[in-house]
Structure 1
């Protein structure tokens, strides 16, 4: 028989892991790295379950952002080397897949804080207050980073040939 911590945690993982994996993917830009990142964070949440069980999703999101930032810092110090044919992008000719790939690629060009604010604010649909709490910064910083991030996304997407309407990118001026 499982203890209550295990049952509550299992319910949390069952109901929120898909959403948290999407956040991790958008923060890292790589499915395998996102799965590893989420696994690390879920281990951390489990260990601290008694303290975080009232707000586990908020805690997990903040941990995802912090751990992703740590990975960016490590990678900045030690650049990755391409694995030739294994790093190639597999092209799918479906419009929605191409659009998604373009958006994810554009997200990768953003600095970590701007990427985190755009992902949490618009793709996770969090309020400015919740994003500020997750990132440990002021609401003004969230608004500023979001505005700059969206502007860079539009610029990057326009440069790649993807043209998105203002209704496609949340927060776009109409």
Structure 2
């Protein structure tokens, strides 16, 4: 089921806010349901759902009426068998990034999308995706330290 995949992506986009992630997935599926009968045939429903999810996230962040405020504390428990401190550190660092930069990183490195596919999903140019990726990774390294995101081979 793609719902779990959408939920995980939404969690990363929202910086670990599971409740907002659930809302985003629900709104995404609602929008897809509303369009489903009106479109002749969606050739790639999973890709379309991902596009709707990212666009919903970005639109949600733009709303000035959003009264929710982030908190420095994260009370939800990570799944067993994972490094909780690492997960919380990465989620906090992602949450401090610009909305579009976060979306680029999630799509490129979590979803393993190509630069071209990420550009298409976000409505950006390929060069904008490349520059945002470099800038966002540099900001993460700045926040986390240069050795934190180093590849294991180096």
Same fold, TM-score > 0.5, yes or no: yes
**Residue range with higher mean Cα deviation, 41-50 or 100-109:** 41-50
TM-score (norm 2): 0.83
Tell me the distance in 2 between the aligned counterparts of 1:82 and 1:121. 25
Tell me the distance in 2 between the aligned counterparts of 1:124 and 1:144. 18
Give the number of the structure whose residues are more often helix, by fraction: 1
TM-score (norm 1): 0.74
Using CA pairs below 8 Å that are at least 6 residues apart, which structure has the higher relative contact order? Answer: 2
Q: Which residue of 2 aligns with 1:17?
A: 3
Per the TM alignment, residue 74 of structure 1 is displaced from its structure 2 partner at its CA by 2.0
Tell me the distance in 1 between the aligned counterparts of 2:130 and 2:82. 31
Deviation digits for residues 78-114 of structure 1 (CA, Å, limit 9, x no counterpart) = 554579xxx7433879871110110010001110111
List runs of 5+ in structure 1 lacking aligned partners: 1-14
Contact 2:10/2:21, CA 8 A, preserved across alignment:
yes
Contact 2:42/2:48, CA 8 A, preserved across alignment:
no
List runs of 5+ in structure 2 lacking aligned partners: none
Contact 1:25/1:31, CA 8 A, preserved across alignment:
yes
Q: Which residue of 2 aligns with 1:56?
A: 45
Higher Cα radius of gyration = 1
